[in-house]
Structure 1
Amino acid sequence: MSSKVSSDSWTGPPKWPEDAEIKEYAGGCHCKKFRFKFTHPIFENGGMKVTTCNCSICNQHGLYNIYVPQSRFELTSGSEDEMSKYQLAGKPSTHRFCPNCGSNMIVRWGDLVVVNVRAVDDIDVKGLDFFHLDGRNLF
């Protein structure tokens, strides 16, 4: 099941349900230069919804996003200093990707790490429910 959110109803990233089952996930780039792990409420098979956004960069890269507090995210291989960075002019977020294989893995946005679900190990995107964000008109 999907839901749509327009720019006039956006109140920020989805809140974690208080009773959510928390799972540890791992992922990284295609060439394995960078690896990460994080904890988050379960989001596959009908769990917490994953955000799709129609802003220019999310749309072009085909990103499926989840929002992780920095305290729950850890880079386990490679360092962010080695990652390529891209920041849209005047925007508060910084996209980070592998300079070798080009995988878009994370976005730093305030005190959150926005993780591209497509970079998470063993996730079947067909089993995800989506929250559609009208980022084109919001950001």
Structure 2
Amino acid sequence: MSQSSAPTTTPGTWPEGTELKEYSGGCHCSKFRFHFTHPPFENGEAKVMSCNCTICSQHGLLHIYVPESQFEFTAGQPEQLSSYQLLGKLTKHQFCPSCGSNIILRNEEEREVVVNVRAVDDVDVSKLDCIHFDGRNKL
């Protein structure tokens, strides 16, 4: 795992002409399903972020950033997700109220959806190229 204090590449920094791949995923009980396009991350082309803040560490979250325009729910309504927002923080962790799966993070000031890679179908997380973000000290 690479050591870095900066988050992974955000949508605005994808080089023009970057190949995009289609992904699907959802919660454990499939009440919520989603679809998005993103540069491939299984081969290390796009980095996945591992944050060490208390909630991300406890839940084992791995993040990728997806522009709102590239993300959609295909089952379930986003307003039906349960949310947890740390006191004084802008980011909402959103999860299925039925099975408890952490699916996405949202910051209403940003035009992106932070997807939990562990909720994406058919991804072998042991093969991902992750970068470290020191959220415990920087958030």
Same fold (TM over 0.5): yes
Is the CA contact 2:8–2:47 (under 8 Å) kept in the aligned structure 1? no
Note if 1:115 corresponds to 2:112. no
SS state at 2:3 partner: strand
For 1:88 and 1:69, the matched residues in 2 are separated by 23
When the two chains are superposed, the root-mean-square deviation of aligned CA atoms in Å is 1.3
Deviation at 1:46, TM superposition (A): 2.5
Deviation at 1:45, TM superposition (A): 2.2
Match of 1:129 in 2: 129
Alignment gaps of 5+ in structure 2: none
Is the CA contact 2:42–2:128 (under 8 Å) kept in the aligned structure 1? yes
Structure 1 length normalisation: TM-score? Answer: 0.91
How many residue pairs get matched? 134
Match of 2:64 in 1: 66
Structure (1 or 2) with the greater strand fraction = 1
Deviating beyond 6 angstroms after TM superposition, the runs of 4 or more aligned structure 1 residues are: none
Note if 1:138 corresponds to 2:122. no
Question: What is the 5 A alignment of 1:1-139?
Answer: 2-6=1-5, 10=6, 13-14=8-9, 15-109=13-107, 110-139=110-139
Deviation at 1:118, TM superposition (A): 0.2
Question: What residue identity is the alignment partner of 1:127?
Answer: K
For 1:25 and 1:117, the matched residues in 2 are separated by 10
Is the CA contact 1:52–1:64 (under 8 Å) kept in the aligned structure 2? yes
Alignment gaps of 5+ in structure 1: none
Is the CA contact 1:30–1:103 (under 8 Å) kept in the aligned structure 2? yes
